[in-house]
A and B are shown apart, each in its own frame.
Chain A
Amino acid sequence: MSTYKLYYFNVRGRGEVARLIFAAADQKYEDIRYEREEWVSHKSEMPLGQMPVLEYNGVKLPQSAAINRFLANQFHLAGKDNFDQAKVDAVVDTINDMISKYRPIRMEQDEAKQKELTKTFLADELPKHLQNLEGLGKLYGSGGSFFVGNNLTWADLYFYDIAQHILELDENIFNNYPWLKENRQQVEKQPKIAEYLKNRPKTSH
């Protein structure tokens, strides 16, 4: 029996997709959450001094994307063959391109400046990324509501998680993107996901 331990902060952040994958797979794991003050004393235990880290059968693995893809592969949520897995990876990378434009805005300390940057992001930057994602869903989704091959994969879970942050900027954003709206609804409807979403800790981000 393999053992899984996930180390992260007590937030969703870069750890939540792994938790969603464990939930979708109905796989038990140790969900270790460090508060910021606790983290300082554990930093040197992690290979790169960062989290999340997955410990699999006692061996530590850093880097959230590597962790997420590994878990998805273990639990058959990565795509049915190498090429479908590549399509899933392409969707994930496209979500990352979108989020990399938003992260610097979140880090902006000046409130007025942040408001301005957010406005520009929503008007000029975000639409092309959402259009790209709808494009990939229609190209690879075999006519269904999931991104690749008519099955739930971690690409859908990743989009679901990231979209939650986008919705905090504009709760109506997906009204213009019906395919993405439907995709998220299909994820939420999965029984194990619905159960997890109901019970998970409510955190600020």
Chain B
Amino acid sequence: MPSYKLTYFNGRGLGEVSRLIFAAAGQKFEDVRYERDQFPAHKAEMPLGQMPVLEVDGVKLPQSSAIARYLAKEFHLAGKDNFDQAKVDAVVDTVGDSFKGFIPTIFEQDPVKKEEIKKKFFTDDLPKHLQNLETLGKLYGNGGHFFVGNQLTWADLYFYNFAQTYIEAEADCLNNFPWLKQNRAEVEKQPKIAEYLKQRPKTQF
């Protein structure tokens, strides 16, 4: 049994998808969390000076999506064959596309400008991506509630995580997307996920 150590900030951010995958798999791991002021002292330990980093039996792996996909494959949450795994990747990439538009709303300092770009994101930008995600769910989901092949994959966990950020900024953003709402409800109902969501640290991001 390999030993897993995940190193990230004390927040959800780009590390949470991997934590959700560990939880869904019922897999123990060392969940190292650095506060912002602790990170500089550890930066040089990371292959790219960034987090998250996964350490498997002492070998370090950077890049959040590479980490998440690896863990998903190890724990059979990636899709049943190469093509299903590709469909899962396509869903993940589409969620990723949606998040690119959200990033400026996080970093904008001017409150008036921030509100303006936030409004534009939720009115003009996000709905297109959510529509695309529903399209993929209906195309690949075999009539079920999960994105690919009628079973939970890391695509569902990935969407669950990023959608949480959107909902915290704009509570109604999924109201016109019943398939996506149902998909999130199914994820939350999974016993190991429900347990994890109840216990996990409540953080600002």
Near B by CB (< 8 A), chain A positions 42-89 give 47-48, 56, 59-63, 65-67, 69-70, 73-74, 82-83, 85-87, 89
Distance A56 CA – B83 CA, assembled complex (angstroms): 9
Is the pair A89, B69 in contact by a Cβ cutoff of 8 Å?
yes
B residues less than 8 Å from A59 (CB atoms) = 83
Interface centre among B48, B56, B74, B135, by most chain A C-beta atoms within 10 angstroms, is B48
B89 within 8 A of A: yes
Q: Of the candidates A70, A83, A135, A136, which one forms a contact with B83 in the assembled complex, judged by CB atoms under 8 Å apart?
A: A70
Chain B residues, Cβ within 8 Å of A136 = 47-48
Question: Which chain A residue has the least Cβ–Cβ distance from B60?
Answer: A139
Complex Cα distance, B50 from A90, in Å, reads: 12
> Shortest distance in angstroms between B47's beta carbon and chain A's nearest beta carbon?
6
The chain B residue sitting closest to A59, CB to CB, is B83
Q: Which bracket fits the contact residues of A?
A: 20 to 34
Cβ–Cβ contact A86 & B136, under 8 A = no
Q: Within 8 Å of chain B (Cβ to Cβ): is A26?
A: no
| Majority DSSP secondary structure for residues of B touching A | helix
Annotate B98-141 by CB proximity to A: 1 below 8 A, 0 otherwise: 00000000000000000000000000000000001001100100
Interfacial chain A residues near B48, Cβ < 8 Å: 94, 132, 135-136
A93 at the binding interface (Cβ < 8 Å): yes
Q: Using Cβ atoms and an 8 Å threshold, which residues of chain A touch B62?
A: 90, 94
Residues on A with C-beta less than 8 A from B69 are 86, 89
Cβ of B185 < 8 Å from any Cβ of A? no
Q: How many residues of B contact A (CB 8 A)?
A: 28
A59–B90 Cα distance when bound, in Å, is 13
**Which of A70, A86, A92, A94 is B85 in contact with, Cβ under 8 Å?**
A70
Say yes or no: A47 contacts B139, CB within 8 Å: yes
In angstroms, Cα B90 to Cα A70, docked, is: 10
A93 to B61, CA, bound (A): 12
* B93 in contact with A89 (CB, 8 Å): no
State which of A63, A89, A93, A135 has its C-beta within 8 Å of the C-beta of B90.
A63
The one of A69, A87, A92 in contact with B86, judged by C-beta atoms closer than 8 angstroms, is A69
- CB within 8 Å of A: which B50-83 residues: 56, 59, 61-63, 65-67, 69-70, 73-74, 82-83
What 1/0 flags go to B155-168 for Cβ under 8 Å of A?
Answer: 00000000000000
B-side interface residues toward A, CB under 8 Å?
47-48, 56, 59, 61-63, 65-67, 69-70, 73-74, 82-83, 85-87, 89-90, 92-94, 132, 135-136, 139
